[in-house]
Structure 1
């Protein structure tokens, strides 16, 4: 299951803001970027939901894997993990997250990926 539409972050202006003004946490398999959200950058129909939940995005380039099937499998794994972590957390409303996988993530076990994701979330102060 993927992230609900209300949790998903989309649009180049949102990604530009995350790249420009975010705090970064680096791991061996991924990079986590966290920034406060700006509802003016969201699509009109999503602006009212800004204060309801945290928004997440994943970037998995073809450098991670040339096969779209593999990239999509990783994306689904991490989306499901993030959804379970943040779906009911109202204290993180207005936060934007961007997770970028590194090429080494393709060979990692799913449990390694999820453990590193949790570790980065803890170091960013997002996981209790």
Structure 2
């Protein structure tokens, strides 16, 4: 299930701001950068916005990359009600994520969100 439009990062400038100023956190299959509320354009009362970045280094096949993106998006959709307001987050997929399952993505995302203190 896709994330609602209000919860998506859509523009290159938003991704660039998160990559430049955001805090880092990593796990075995994923890495995450998060931009705190109130920094640059992210206001404290706006909804948390998310982006997923997956390179062709992960897989040359678009089918595989899209499947991974859908699994991560579904896991984020499940965690969305627990997230604090105003964060901008970018999740990058690592090359070894091809053999990862949905449950593993959910656990890793939850751990990383706790490390960045995004989950309430």
Within 5 Å, which residues of 2 pair with 1:14-93? 14-36=14-36, 38-39=40-41, 51-86=45-80, 88-89=81-82, 92-93=84-85
Per-residue CA deviations over 1:48-105 (Å, capped at 9, x if unaligned) read x98341000000111111111111111111112112212x35x722110000010010
TM-score by length of 1: 0.81
Give me the whole-angstrom Cα distance separating, in 2, the residues matched to 1:36 and 1:126: 9
TM-score by length of 2: 0.86
**Gapped runs of 5+ residues in structure 1?**
41-48
Q: Does 1:104 align with 2:96?
A: yes
RMSD: 2.1
Give me the whole-angstrom Cα distance separating, in 1, the residues matched to 2:86 and 2:103: 28
Question: Which residue pairs with 1:8 in the alignment?
Answer: 8
Taking a change above 3 Å as real, the CA distance of residues 50 and 77 of structure 1, as seen in their structure-2 partners, is farther
Q: Partner of 1:6: helix, strand, or coil? A: helix
With 66-75 and 50-59 compared, the bigger mean Cα shift is at 50-59
Q: Partner of 2:6: helix, strand, or coil? A: coil
**Gapped runs of 5+ residues in structure 2?**
none
